Amino acid sequence: MADLIPFDDRDGLIWYNGKLVPWRESTLHVLSHGLHYGSCVFEGERSYNGEIFKLREHTDRLIESGRILGFEIPFSADEIDAACIETCKANNIVDGYIRPVAWRGSEMMAVSAQQTKIHVAIATWPWPSYFSPELREKGISLKTSPWKRPSPECAPVHAKAAGLYMIATLSKHHAEAAGYTDALLLDWRGQISEATGANIFMVMGDGKLHTPIPDCFLDGITRRTVIGLAKERGYEVIERVIMPDELPKATEIFLTGSAAEVTPVGKIDALTFTPGDITRTLIDDYERAVGKIR
């Protein structure tokens, strides 16, 4: 804990409701609706060599997430894109992370929130790989979570909404307490869905890539990118229902996400896996696509 640098006590600038504000002054009131009722949406983006990967796709998803939660973000996609780029330049971010976030303010403190102001902020900071190079080499470990992804009838599952990540935090803490890197979440039907912040792919005995249908979790931007890269390689990608008892049939497993990039999985519960040729090929292809490999 002594080595942690709190995110509220850093140098730099944050874009806040249309202007750059000193980092430590970029605050919100304790009675903001977004804090109490989870009426908040966000994005996680990566900058490589000074370029934000898939910036417009992330911006479009941020705006759509707000719409799903019933509010309109008061800036256009062009304005948000420009603000992300401006904030990176203001903080000298070449390779790093970008976090746009939008939330309901403090005008109403009740379940109803129609008259709240919508705030938007964008923060950027340097960030290396989400998982250490050692873990990425041998593959991370996942423990199946006791928490499950809810039905689309129970939550706004296609929004990148802050409240949905409570399940992810509980699941990751549960996994880490047992010595695992991350968690594997099933959905309410018992089907494999995703990890706490990344989509999952499996190479099965048929040599094809299999991945769950994103009907109750985010169809990740990195997920779609990797599917495209796999198809360019001639790999067949099958989106289907995958049950936990199929895991022993997998020869390779990996995760995809803006933070995770393409990360091999070496263990799920008591099962072990070896990162293989398809995983390593897609790692290289993704790194070329984002500009890490020239």
Q: How far is CA 96 from CA 20, 121, 125, 127, 157, in A?
A: 18, 17, 6, 5, 27
Show which residues are catalytic.
160
Q: Where would I find the H helices in the chain? A: 33-37, 55-68, 77-90, 133-138, 165-177, 221-232, 277-290
- Rounded CA gap, 51 and 39, in Å? 30
Q: How big is the chain by its Cα radius of gyration, in Å?
A: 19
Token look-up 């990967």 returns 53
- Chain centre to alpha carbon of residue 225: 14
Q: How far is CA 132 from CA 40, 64, 260, in A?
A: 30, 32, 10
In sequence order, what are the beta bridge partners of 220?
none
- Rounded CA gap, 236 and 210, in Å? 9
